[in-house]
Every structure is written in structure tokens, then in C-alpha cells.
Structure 1
Amino acid sequence: MSATHHHEHGHGHHGHEHDHRGHDHRGHAHGAGNERRVLIALWLTGGFMIVEAAGGILSGSLALIADAGHMLTDTGALALAWIAVRLAKRPADDERSYGWHRAEILAAFLNGVAMLALSAWIIFEAAMRLAEPSPVLGGPMLVVAIGGLAVNILSFFMLHGAGDSLNLKGAALHVLGDLLGSVAAIAAAIVILFTGFMPIDPMLSVLVALLILRSAWKVTRDSAHILMEGTPHGLDPDAIAADLVKTVAGVADVHHVHAWSLTPGQSLVTLHAHLVDGADAHAALSGIKARLGSHFGIGHATVQIEQGACADGHHNDCGEKQH
């Protein structure tokens, strides 16, 4: 048992090294430029978030405060994107054999929970203001909201040219969503300036809060799923087992399939493969790993090879060939 397990981890370790070499190669080509673009967008968004929050407090506009809250979600998303680019450079160590990638997921979960609380507060405050309307200074509100729109457009174009990483695309979508919040605040300011209809401010702040709520719920749900070692979306353990039996020569049965995610883009699998009598264990192992990589996009797999007769058909009792 021990010899087999050691051998299999040797294969897994080799695959792990191969994956990281590929990652580093791409990082040299794009990492520095991406990091700089994300950092600029982060400072733009985070800096103007403070201006917008202050403008909301001074003008009495809940829509501006809500939009500042949405910019806070953008700042969190950009910070996560920047952290991910930075952490990808850090090698695995004895305490973190998979490296630092999970730090991004933990930060995303905390960010999502904070945003859920913020959106709930905005909706509560809007209800209070609808019951008892308070005056809003339309002029300062309009100036700050237009500034927020300009910053969001600039940040979006910074991120749009920063590569095709899923992480960066997610950050760009956050900023694009915030454009709607800025437009809502501008619309509320124009209505107040021309009609004096104050309730439009809390009404549109609820719209922005719902935008925050939608993205915060998705981030919280997805990050919690990864932290709970949930099966990656689109991967079915039973389908993996059936596919390997069908496509890899010498594989009679696949069981104990466990799949989870390190990050949204990195899936890991462990499984037991029982071979037909006389099958080449090394060829089967190579075939399984190749199929997992090409068909399922799984770069990290630990495969336990089992050979010999099974007692009463129970695979846990299968004898293992040490090689």
C-alpha cells in the first residue's frame, strides 16, 4: 500500500510541477502589465469611493452613499484580482503545499458577507427615508455622481486591456455594473434639481443596493462552495468514472472519485482505478491523467491503481499491485 501511494504521489507531484512551470511562463509574459493595470484601477476606484461617500453624506444623498458602497464592492474585487496576480508568483512551501491560492477565496467570502450586510443597511435606510423624506442637495450630488461615472469608465478600460484572465474579467464586470449605479445617482440628482422630488433618491438607492446584493450573493455562494470543498461546477464524479472506463485501455472500474477546487480555475481529483488482469499499470495511469487533463481540464490528479481479484465484488478489498 505505502509503496503504491508513494509512487502515485510522485506522478501527482510531477504533474504539479508541470502546471506551475506553465503558469510561471504565462506570468512572465503578462503578470507585470496586468498587476500595474489592476493596481491603477484599484487606486482610482478606492480613492473615488471615499470622495463619493463624503459627497453622499454632505449632500444628504443615499443614492450616492449606495453608489459608494457599490464602488466598495468594486474595490474589493479589484483587490482580490491584484492579490491573485501577486500570490500566483509565490511558490508552495512546507506549510502550504498548494501555495497561496486559497487566500483569494477566503478574501472573496469575507468581501461577499460584508457587501450583503451593506446592501441590507442601504435598503433599511431607504425605507426609513421614504417614510420620512429628507432634503438632498441636487447640485453637489450631480457633480460627484458624474465624477464617479468618469472614474468607472476609466477603470473599465484599464481592466479591459489587462488580459483574458477570469479573475480580471470578473473585476471588469464589477466595474461595468457600477456604471449603472453612477447613472442612477446622476438620474436622481437631475430629477431633484428639476422637480424637487426628494423620494427619488432613496428609490434609486434601493436599485443600486439590489445590484450590490446580486453580485455579493454570487461571490459569497461561490466562495463558500469552494471553501466547503464542493464539487466544481460542470464536473460530475460519476460521469468522470464512466468516461475513464470507456476511454482508457485496461481500466475495468473507477470508484472513490472526489473532485474539488483550489480556485475557480483549478480543479483537483482523487480516484481509485481497478484494472483488468494483465493490464499495464503505468500505461493506464498515464492514460487516466491524460484523459482528465484533455477532456475535463483537470491538471492535478492523484490516482490509486488497483489490480487483482476483488473479494465479493467490493473494491475496497481489491489487491494493489506495487510498482
Structure 2
Amino acid sequence: MGHHHSSTGQANKKNLIIAMIIIGSWMFIQFLGGLWTGSLALLADAVHMFNDFSNLFISLIAIILAAKAATKRRTFGNHRYEVLSSLLNSLALLAIAFFVVKEAIDRIISPQDVMGGAMMIIATIGLIANIGAMFALTRGDVKNNLNMRGAYLHVLSDTLGSVAAIVAAFIIYFTDWNIADPILSILISLMIAFSAFRLLKDTVHVLLEGTPDHIDIEQIKQDLLQMKGVENVHDLHVWTITSGIDSLTVHLIINPQYINQQDALIQANQYVRETLDIDHSTIQIETDDMRRFEDQNI
């Protein structure tokens, strides 16, 4: 799994760089276009793109730092940098959504004229740029990697912002209803906030060393109890170090009349590696006599 995570990290790094080039090249034009047309949707999208560029850069640095070898002070390595990057991305998305909603409410109270035609052209080109960046990121592991998912959600929020800007521009161009711009900005911001909250929830779950969603602790316990010579299972813990790297610890009490400690360890390790696909595990084999001795000395 370590080699797979390393190769996936290299692919994610390459895709992040491509997305950064696309986002960065269009960001300034979008910002100037928003100032020229007076569109909040375009300005919000440009701010999103600047924030996206920054957070894509943070995600890239996290991947580079996570690839560093483990040290005496960080025996698990630096993989948690990717989780911290995901935390920053989710908080940044929530902050963006809040400030766009706040500005949109001000625009609803005090409507401003918007150049619908120019806004439509700029927003359409922005949509193409965002789709290109999304395509680059989807070539990486955006489903299982929290860091990449955070980067992807940033670009997705920009893509939705571009769609909102196009719809708003269409309405404004044909009806002169300028309030469509802030209304659609609010709707998109609420969608962004919902996705960001889910990302934040998943990230905090990892930081609190919660059990991965795909792991059933009770099923693992039952599987271990069904192994030859295993009489009891305790101190079973499974947590995520970073996306794609899980760890397990467990104590097994065996009956030495049916199996020796070495064979018990071999069968348990085989189950953890092959069935659970977990390479990082610590399995302690005990007998009843050992357990009673430990309890007496607590």
C-alpha cells in the first residue's frame, strides 16, 4: 500500500500543477472582468479562483511534505499534512460562502447595474477554464484522498459560480433584472457551504482518529474470534493516518492447547493484510495466564 500511495501522490501532484496553471491563467482576467461589468457573481468567482489557486498550492505543498520519509520524531511520516490541508480547504470554503452571501444580501438591498452581455462572455470562458481544471483533478484520487477532494471542491465551487454567472447574465441581458446576480450567488454559496461542511466533518473524523467508514469493527471482531484458537478480542482500534493509509491495533487471547502464538500471529496478520487491506498493524497475542498477570499488576 505504501508504494501505491507514493505513486498516487505523484499523479495527484502532477494534476494539481496542471489545475493551478489553468486557474492562475484565468484568475486575473476574471477579476478585471468583474470590475468592468459590475457583476458580483464574476467578482465572487474571481475571488474563488484566487482562493482556489492558494489552496491548490497548499495541497501541492502538503503532498510534497507528506512524501518525506519518517523520522524519529514522526514515526508515521508526514502524511497528516494532507489532512491538515483538507482542514484548511474546508474552512476556507466556508469563509468564502459566508462573505459572498453577505455581499449578495447588500446587493439585493442596493441593486447595482450589471453589463449582462460582457458578463456572459467572460463567465462562459471562465466556465471552460474551470471545467479544464476539474478534468485535471479528476484524473487524481478525489474520491478517497481528503486533500485532493478539498482541492476538487474548490474548483467545483468555481465551476458552479461560473454557471451561476452565465445564468444571471442571461437573465440580466434579456430582462434587466440585476437582482438575479446576487440571488444566484447566494444559491451557489449555500451549495458550496454544504460540500465544505461535509469535507470538514470527514477531516475532523480523521484527526480524531475515528474508525474509517468502510470498516466494521464488530465484523472484524467476529472474524478474529472465528480463527483457530482465538478465545477473546480486546483493545481493537482502527484509524486513518491519511487518505488511503489505515492502521490497526488489537490484542488476541488464544488457547495455547489449540494454536501457538507464532501461528496465531501469522493467521491474524494474513487476515488484516488480505481481507482488510491494512498494512500498518500491531497485533499482540496473549494467553489467559498472561492476561491475569497483567490485570494483577494494574
Which residue among 187, 204, 207 is the counterpart of 2:187? 207
1:137: which partner in 2? 115
Q: Cα deviations across residues 209-262 of structure 1 (Å, max 9, x unaligned)?
A: 12221221122111111111122113233332222111x222111111122111
Which residue among 77, 89, 95 is the counterpart of 1:99? 77
Structure 2 residue 2 is matched with structure 1 residue 20: yes
Which residue among 195, 208, 218 is the counterpart of 1:238? 218
- Distance across 1 between alignment mates of 2:272 and 2:51: 36
- Distance across 1 between alignment mates of 2:148 and 2:82: 15
Q: Give, as a single letter, the amino acid of the residue that structure 1 aligns with 2:97.
A: S
2:67: which partner in 1? 89
* Compared CA separation, residues 231 and 34, structure 1 to 2 (3 A): closer
Q: Counterparts in 2 of 1:180-199, with a 5 A limit? A: 180-199=160-179
Structure 1, 38-47 or 204-213: larger mean CA deviation: 38-47
- Distance across 2 between alignment mates of 1:290 and 1:307: 20
1:254: which partner in 2? 233
Which residue among 258, 271, 284 is the counterpart of 2:250? 271
* Compared CA separation, residues 69 and 265, structure 1 to 2 (3 A): farther
Consecutive unaligned residues of structure 1, counting only runs of 5 or more, are: 1-18
Scaled by the length of structure 1, the TM-score of the pair is 0.79
* Compared CA separation, residues 142 and 21, structure 1 to 2 (3 A): closer
Query: Residues 272 and 303 of structure 1 are in contact (CA less than 8 Å); yes or no, is this contact kept in structure 2?
Result: yes
Aligned-residue offset at 1:318: 8.6
Aligned-residue offset at 1:148: 0.8
- Distance across 2 between alignment mates of 1:194 and 1:175: 29
State the SS of the aligned residue for 2:177: coil
Q: Cα deviations across residues 10-47 of structure 1 (Å, max 9, x unaligned)?
A: xxxxxxxxx435545xx2xx765653332021121144
- Distance across 2 between alignment mates of 1:161 and 1:111: 20
- Distance across 1 between alignment mates of 2:51 and 2:206: 20
Q: Give, as a single letter, the amino acid of the residue that structure 2 aligns with 1:66.
A: A
Structure 2 residue 275 is matched with structure 1 residue 292: no
* Compared CA separation, residues 72 and 166, structure 1 to 2 (3 A): farther
- Distance across 1 between alignment mates of 2:233 and 2:31: 56
Consecutive unaligned residues of structure 2, counting only runs of 5 or more, are: none
Structure 1, 153-162 or 288-297: larger mean CA deviation: 153-162
Aligned-residue offset at 1:161: 4.3
Which residue among 41, 45, 48 is the counterpart of 2:26? 48
- Distance across 1 between alignment mates of 2:148 and 2:206: 19
Query: Residues 171 and 180 of structure 2 are in contact (CA less than 8 Å); yes or no, is this contact kept in structure 1?
Result: yes
* Compared CA separation, residues 133 and 21, structure 1 to 2 (3 A): closer
- Distance across 2 between alignment mates of 1:303 and 1:33: 33
2:204: which partner in 1? 224
Aligned-residue offset at 1:65: 2.7
Scaled by the length of structure 2, the TM-score of the pair is 0.85
Q: Give, as a single letter, the amino acid of the residue that structure 2 aligns with 1:301.
A: S
Query: Residues 153 and 196 of structure 2 are in contact (CA less than 8 Å); yes or no, is this contact kept in structure 1?
Result: no
- Distance across 1 between alignment mates of 2:156 and 2:100: 21
Aligned-residue offset at 1:208: 1.7
Q: Give, as a single letter, the amino acid of the residue that structure 1 aligns with 2:238.
A: A
Number of aligned residues: 294
Q: Give, as a single letter, the amino acid of the residue that structure 1 aligns with 2:60.
A: W
Query: Residues 5 and 244 of structure 2 are in contact (CA less than 8 Å); yes or no, is this contact kept in structure 1?
Result: no
* Compared CA separation, residues 229 and 44, structure 1 to 2 (3 A): same
